[in-house]
Structure 1
Amino acid sequence: MMKNIAMKLARTKKGLSQAELADLVGVTRQTIGLIETGKYNPSIRLCIEICENLDVTLNDLFWEESNHG
């Protein structure tokens, strides 16, 4: 699993701390931290909640470009 730098960038662009985003989506700050460091694989429902609160798409945050091609 890769670090989710895109999520961290989108969160900070919105001016939200990990704790604030966590409150908005109903998880702990630790969960947001784990997602951002690539140590937790969120459910699709949580991914959608995060995207809605950060005003981005699922592709923006969670799509990994393949190096095969």
Structure 2
Amino acid sequence: MTEVKVTNVKSFLHFRYGGYSLKNNIREIRKKINISQEDLANMCGVTRQTINAIENDKYDPTLSLAFRLSIHLGTTIDELFTYEEDSK
């Protein structure tokens, strides 16, 4: 059996579900609970620029970071990230 290494949210969803577009709700949830990008970054051990890049769909977080984000935002990964099937 071939081992598949999945290191980030996008590759996990691609492996599990096929073609899709990854979207996230991090900005909306973060603002709802009144946490700045800087504060969230410090809690997760990354830079503010990383949080900004994730929120603007410029960077796909690792699974480890996705879990940390969900913990510090008090939500689940399913609520943070959604996918839409690519049109064929």
If the length of structure 2 is used for normalisation, what is the TM-score? 0.68
Q: Is the 8 A contact 1:3 1:35 kept in 2?
A: no
Aligned counterpart for 2:66 among listed residues 29, 47, 55: 47
Q: Is the 8 A contact 1:18 1:33 kept in 2?
A: yes
Q: Which has the larger radius of gyration?
A: 2
**Greater RCO between the two (CA within 8 Å, min separation 6)?**
2
Note the alpha carbon deviations across 1:36-69, whole angstroms, 9 max, x for none: 000001100000000000011111111213367x
Gaps in structure 2 of 5+ consecutive residues: 1-20
1:61 corresponding residue in structure 2 = 80
Aligned counterpart for 1:29 among listed residues 48, 62, 79: 48
- Once the two structures are aligned, what percentage of the paired residues are identical? 39
How many residues align structurally?
67
Secondary structure of 2:84's match?
coil
If the length of structure 1 is used for normalisation, what is the TM-score? 0.86
Question: Relative to total residues, which structure has the larger strand share, 1 or 2?
Answer: 2
Question: Relative to total residues, which structure has the larger helix share, 1 or 2?
Answer: 1
RMSD: 1.8
Gaps in structure 1 of 5+ consecutive residues: none
